[in-house]
Amino acid sequence: MDNKKIRAIGAAVLAVLWVGLTFFSWFGPAKELSTSERRPLKQMPAITMESILDGSFMKDFEGFTLDQFPLRDTFRSIKALFHNYAMNQSDNNDLYISDGYIIKQEQPLDPASVEHALSRFQFVYEKHLKDKASNIYISLVPDKNFYQAEPSGHLSLDYATMFNMVKNRIPWAMYIDITDTLSLEDYYRTDTHWRQENLIPTAQKILAEMGAQGLKPEDFTTETLDKPFYGVYYGQAALPVKPDTIQMLHSAAIDQYKVYDCNEGKPVGSDLYDMSQLDSMDLYDVFLTGAKKGTMVIENPNGTPGKELIVFRDSYGSSIAPLLVSDYAKVTFIDIRQYNPAFPNPFLNAEGKDVLFLYSTLVLNASQELK
Amino acid sequence: MLFSSIPFLYYFLPAVILTYFFLPMAVKLLLKPLCKRDGLADKLCLKLRNAILLVSSLVFYGWGEPKLLTLMVFTIVLFYGCGLAIGWCKRTLFRRLWLIVSIVISVALLGFFKYADFFVDTFNSVTGLSIPLLRLALPVGISFYTFQCLSYTIDVYRGNVASQKDPISFGAYVALFPQLIAGPIVRYIDVARELDSRTHSWDGIALGLRRFLMGLAKKVIIADNFALLMKLFRESDQPSVLFYWMYAIAFMLNIYFDFSGYSDMAIGLGRVFGFNFIENFNYPYLSKSVAEFWRRWHMSLGSWFRDYIYIPLGGNRVSKARWFLNTLTVWALTGLWHGAAWNFVLWGLMFAALLLIEKFVPALQKLPSFFRHVYVLFLIMISFVLFNAESLTQAGTDIIGLFGLTGAPLVTKETLYYLGSYAVLFVMGILGATPLVKNTGLRLNQTKVGAIMEPLVLIILLLICTGYLVDGSFSPFLYFRF
């Protein structure tokens, strides 16, 4: 075959590709949701004279074309693969893969954000805890980058400064360092969160510092969900990584816990492991319904009567929740991203109770959602 | 609308190409039996194509700023009318009058939309007053199309070209979307013949699309990634000396690939529609003198200032003092053309000074080739640091940062990380700024490997660019602000 024919065939393939993508962009069916990104996709905006004149139609149309582009996830993967391997870039959209884990390169430290978080904790303390709570503790959950940035040669935020800020600005709480109880393997490969089945040593350390009864690993069994778990970083990274599996801990004590959803003013029976979330976009939500509820209560019929704990927490608290109950008769979990602590909360009475602030370094470094 | 966007690549451009080629063909088939005169159907076809180009160009322009379409239409009407008037008038006085009308109104519009706040701000600074700023939206590409239009009336006045009688063809020239918003500055005289008679061929379309895709890749894969590094530099808490250098070199490469990529796309699209636009870049970083750099960088702007400002001022055929003044004027205007801020004026004046030094110190041209390369690249880098600064203070910090005078450490862990992460991009950028890639392509061109590789590379580039765009790596073209 002569060169001219080869070029003509190549040009024809290019033309077919371009025309094909154009055709499916124009006439392909619009999708409602992106499961990999866990968000609704933009739809074709309505054309009005007003939206054309103020330019909003054009802006919305661009969003629509990006969201509805044919083989969108495949194209994002092409970009990620090219960016990571051909361009040898160390991260793609601040995510990198190390030892099979997708890790967010969270950095640099945002002191203003940490200050904001600490000011919200101070507000909670002064409004709800001061002169009421018996003991107050605070602990920070390190993100995956804490463990893997150094060995993989990536950047990380200044954790030492963050921890010192917390210790210095929150003198009314005892700081519990849990960094030595965790390692990279204790987190999901494709998600930001930690694995519940690996949290017994962490929970033991927290409970020991709080003077509560410890946990016996032999008391626990695990139940594995048969649905693959594609964590939050899976969609963002757009790189080929095996999905995770979710395991849930059971024990004789745990299975007797009574869980209440207290977001409607009165307690409504709920589940420790919410199986209705199996059809949701985020399987992690099976743990105490994730981080969607401002106030949840776990009652432990085997706990020490009158011994209660209040945990101010983010989504990391959802999976460790059953392990923190221990010998407490009642534990109240409060998420001040969902519940504004400026308002009264009938379930937030700290009189004579232990209080734990358990927050991830990621939330502290991007704390704008804390109310 | 950006060339490097999904709406352009997969909606606007295919729609325009389909309409541009197939609608006139269908009309021609219908008209052919009715047209008795030879070539009449072809002429009508071309008129229809110009009309399609005009309408699509107005849609393209209005897509970003619909309210400013009126300004574009006004500019077309103004220059069309002035061109006709200059062409019709026999007396020089009236011809000059119409030329002055076109210059004064268009320069006033440019001054109002682009420089009003600059002048007010400067006036406030000097007088201590606080006259409120207008904060007008800068019409996209106003500097480019104003200069194109000025070249038209000036050339008609000089008798270099006849005025365009067909308002559709003239409108298509002014608004022509491939080069409307970021050049090259296409003079009417260069496309006058093609507006009235041009041919289309498969080879032309293929070559045009190849050039377009190469430009798209330069913009999306190289320029936009350098822009990310520059953003990281600006966000850095404590940039090291090495980071200042990386930033400066990154911007040199970013602005080159951004702007030359856009020019490639414009020239490629022009080719698709049967136009042959002038080249705008010729490997400027190979230059061995600043004068040579300006013969290779943004050539259409350099030649515009030469032909319409510098030479009419007398060029270098005047006294030394006048020549000195001419040079300063032209380069101050060149700087001001790039942006309404003092750093741009200083940037232009810096080149005036460098060009004068090169003229007065001929020994510079006798230095070994390597040293000439190094001094030109170094000075160009410094000039671009000044160019890209948001204020003179920032420019000063960025420049002294290169020499470690900000107290920054020589190197930090952060800098080494980004150096490693962007090393391949720097290599791609530096090699891509030389003719190496083009020459390799030309050498392979005649071989079987080349025949297979060329479309394959273009397909891969389209896929990768689409991947970047879909992933949302959005960065507006730098030259839009001019």
- A66–B472 C-beta distance less than 8 A: yes
User: What was the pLDDT predicted at A81?
Assistant: 94
**pLDDT tens for residues A163-183?**
999 999 999 999 999 999 999
CB contact under 8 A, A10 and B451: yes
In tens, the pLDDT along B61-89 reads 988 778 889 999 999 999 999 999 999 99
- CB pair distance less than 8 Å for B417 and A7: no
* pLDDT beyond 90 at B28: no
> Which residue shows structure tokens 């999904």?
B6
Please enumerate in sequence order all residues whose Cβ is within 8 A of that of A85, keeping only pairs 6 or more positions apart, or say none.
none
A153 min Cα distance to partner chain B (Å): 8
Binned at pLDDT 50, 70 and 90, residue B480 comes out as: very low
Beta-carbon contacts of B170 under 8 Å, excluding residues fewer than 6 positions away, are B76, B79, B80, B83, B164, B195
- How far does the CA of residue B35 sit from the closest CA of chain A (Å)? 34
pLDDT at B338 over 50: yes
CB B247 within 8 A of CB B398: yes
Distance from CA of B422 to the nearest CA of A (A): 6
Kindly provide the ipTM of the predicted complex, given to two decimals: 0.87
How much is the pLDDT for B68? 86
Judge contact between B229 and A90, C-beta under 8 A.
no
Q: Closest approach of chain A CAs to the CA of B458, in angstroms?
A: 8
Q: Contact, B231 vs B400, CB < 8 A?
A: no
Which of A5, A16, A22 to probe by mutation at the B interface, max B CB count within 10 Å?
A22
What pLDDT, in 10s, does the model give residues B56-66? Answer: 999 999 887 78
Is residue B221 within 8 Å of B473, Cβ to Cβ? no
pLDDT per residue as tens digits for the range B184-207: 899 999 999 999 888 899 889 999
Residue of higher predicted confidence among A60 and B479? A60
Mean pLDDT of chain B: 91
pLDDT at A210 over 70: yes
Buried/exposed B297-306: b ≥16 CB within 10 Å, e otherwise: bbbbbbbbbe
List of E strands, A7-155: 33-34, 39-40, 95-98, 101-104, 135-141
Q: How far is B420 from chain A (nearest CA, A)?
A: 8
Q: Assess whether pLDDT exceeds 80 at residue A1.
A: no
Residue bearing the bigger pLDDT, A143 or B90? A143
Confidence of residue B106 (pLDDT cuts 50, 70, 90): very high
* Residue B130 to residues A181, B373, B393, Cα–Cα distance (Å): 61, 47, 22
B positions 217-236 inside 8 Å of A (CB): 225
Name chain A contacts of B447, Cβ cutoff 8 Å: 3
Give the DSSP letter string of A188-231.
Answer: -SSSSSBPGGG-HHHHHHHHHHTT-----GGG-EEEE-SS-B--
The mean-pLDDT minimum among B26-35, B174-183, B228-237, B289-298 falls in: B26-35
The DSSP output letter for A302 is: T
What's the CA dihedral at A298, A327, A180, A91 to 10 degrees? -10
- Which of A62, A68, A236, A239 to mutate: most B Cβ within 10 Å? A62
pLDDT at B36: 66
Nearest residue of chain A to residue B60 (CA atoms): A58
pLDDT of residue B140 exceeding 90: no
Burial class (CB in 10 A: 0-12, 13-18, 19+), B132: exposed
**Kind plus residue range of the DSSP H or E element containing A260:** strand A258-261
Chain B positions touching A39 (Cβ under 8 A) are none
Of B451, B452, B464, the CB nearest to A78: B464
User: To which H or E segment does residue A110 belong?
Assistant: none
Using the beta-carbon criterion (under 8 Å), do B451 and A7 form an inter-chain contact?
yes
Contact B67 A53 (CB under 8 A): yes
DSSP H stretches of helix in B273-368:
290-296, 299-305, 320-338, 342-360
Is B200 considered catalytic here? no
Per-residue pLDDT reduced to its tens digit, B220-239: 999 999 999 999 999 998 89
Cα nearest neighbour of B13 on chain A: A22
pLDDT at position B473 is 43
Inter-chain CB pairs, A–B, below 8 Å: 120
B121, B168 Cβ separation under 8 angstroms: no
Q: How many CB atoms lie within 10 A of CB B165?
A: 12
Token reading at B35: 């047209």
- Quickly state the pLDDT bin for B475 (edges 50, 70, 90): very low
Place of tokens 């032999």: A218
Find how far residue B99's CA is from the centre of its chain: 25
Selected catalytic residue, list B200, B298, B338, B373: B338
Q: Residue B67 has what pLDDT?
A: 84
- pLDDT, one tens digit per residue, over B431-472 is 999 999 989 988 888 888 888 888 899 999 999 999 999 987
Pairing of strands A174-176, A135-141: parallel
Q: Check whether B182 has a pLDDT greater than 80.
A: no
Helix H or strand E encompassing A71: none
Answer whether A153 sits within 8 Å of B420, measured CB to CB: yes
Q: Which residues of B touch A153 (CB under 8 A)?
A: 417, 420
Check B466 against A88: CB less than 8 A apart.
no
pLDDT at A295: 87
Is B63's CB within 8 Å of A21's CB? no
Count the alpha carbons within 13 Å of A66 in the hemisphere toward its beta carbon.
18
Beta strands across the sheet bearing A354-360:
A174-176, A135-141, A354-360, A304-313, A328-334, A295-299, A258-261, A268-270
Q: How far apart are CA A57 and CA B64, in angstroms?
A: 10
Contact A296, A288 (CB under 8 A): yes
Domain coordinates of chain A in residue numbers?
3-98, 109-365
pLDDT in tens, A296-348: 899 999 888 989 999 999 999 999 999 999 889 999 999 988 888 888 777 77
Helix axes B40-64, B69-88, angle to 10 degrees: 140
Which A residues 11-30 touch B at CB under 8 Å? 11, 13-14, 17-19, 21-22, 25-26
Q: Which of B41, B71, B312, B34 is nearest to B180 (CA)?
A: B71
Give B429 or A234, the one with higher predicted confidence. B429
Decide if pLDDT at A143 tops 50.
Answer: yes
Spans of all domains in chain B: 6-198, 204-481
Which is more confident, B422 or A7? B422
Minimum-distance CB partner of B66 among A6, A9, A52: A52
Interface contact A10-B459, CB threshold 8 A: yes
Q: Which residue of A has its CA nearest to B207?
A: A11
pLDDT value at residue B258: 95
Residues 137-176 of A with CB under 8 A from B: 153-155
Rounded distance, CA B399 to CA B383, Å? 9
| Cα–Cα distance measured from residue A163 to residue A176, given in angstroms and rounded to the nearest whole number | 10
Say what the pLDDT of residue B38 is: 64
Q: Which residue has the higher pLDDT, A219 or A212?
A: A219
Q: Which one of B414, B451, B467 has the shortest CB-CB distance to A155?
A: B414
Concatenating the DSSP letter of every residue in A114-157 gives: HHHHHHHHHHHIIIIITTT-SEEEEEEE--HHHHHHHHHT----
Which residues of A fall within a CB distance of 8 Å from B428? 87
The minimum CA-CA distance between B472 and chain A, rounded to whole Å, is 8
Half-sphere exposure of B186 (CA within 13 A, CB side): 29
